[in-house]
């Protein structure tokens, strides 16, 4: 498992804190934004509604989840480009991709299903 970041030198303290507290796997800098562009199509955060009450409610729900996980956020760096999760098979090809949806929890059941499917496929290929 590894992570990809799109920038350094903007909020290195925040990146280091996130790495040490939440994601202690290797991190790589994507200088040319290959992951962001090829996998997620340069997708940027956009408004889903113009209703101020829905915006406020969504923001409060998202912040409750973030605070519940003790993840600190800030407004440093380029925060508009969305990312996601990509799972690769043993052949190095992408087998599953999840595009970030701002304010929504990652669907862990889907991730587990994708990992189990890869595990099952690897077990099948070992038998041949």
Per-residue pLDDT 10s for the chain (128 aa) are 888 888 888 888 888 988 898 889 999 898 888 877 887 776 666 666 788 888 888 788 878 877 887 777 665 666 666 778 888 888 888 888 888 777 677 889 999 999 999 988 887 655 54
Please give the model's pTM, rounded to 2 decimal places: 0.64
State residue 80's pLDDT score.
65
DSSP notation for 50-111? --HHHHHHHHHHHHHHHHHTT----S-S---B--EEEEE-TTS-EEEEEE--TT----HHHH
State how far the Cα of 119 lies from the Cα of 77, in Å rounded to an integer: 37
Tokens in use for 32?
Answer: 């040319």
């Amino acid at each position: 498992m590894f992570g990809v970041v799109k920038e350094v030198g903007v909020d290195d303290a925040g990146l280091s804190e996130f790495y040490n507290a939440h994601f202690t796997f290797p991190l790589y800098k994507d200088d040319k934004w290959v992951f962001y562009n090829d996998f997620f199509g340069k997708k940027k955060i956009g408004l889903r509604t113009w209703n101020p009450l829905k915006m406020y409610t969504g923001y409060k729900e998202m912040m409750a989840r973030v605070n519940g996980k003790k993840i600190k956020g800030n407004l440093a760096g380029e925060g508009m480009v969305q990312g996601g999760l990509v799972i690769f098979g043993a052949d190095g090809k992408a087998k599953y991709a999840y595009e970030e949806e701002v304010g929504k929890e990652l669907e862990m059941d889907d991730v587990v299903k994708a990992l189990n499917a890869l595990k099952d496929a690897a077990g099948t290929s070992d038998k041949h």
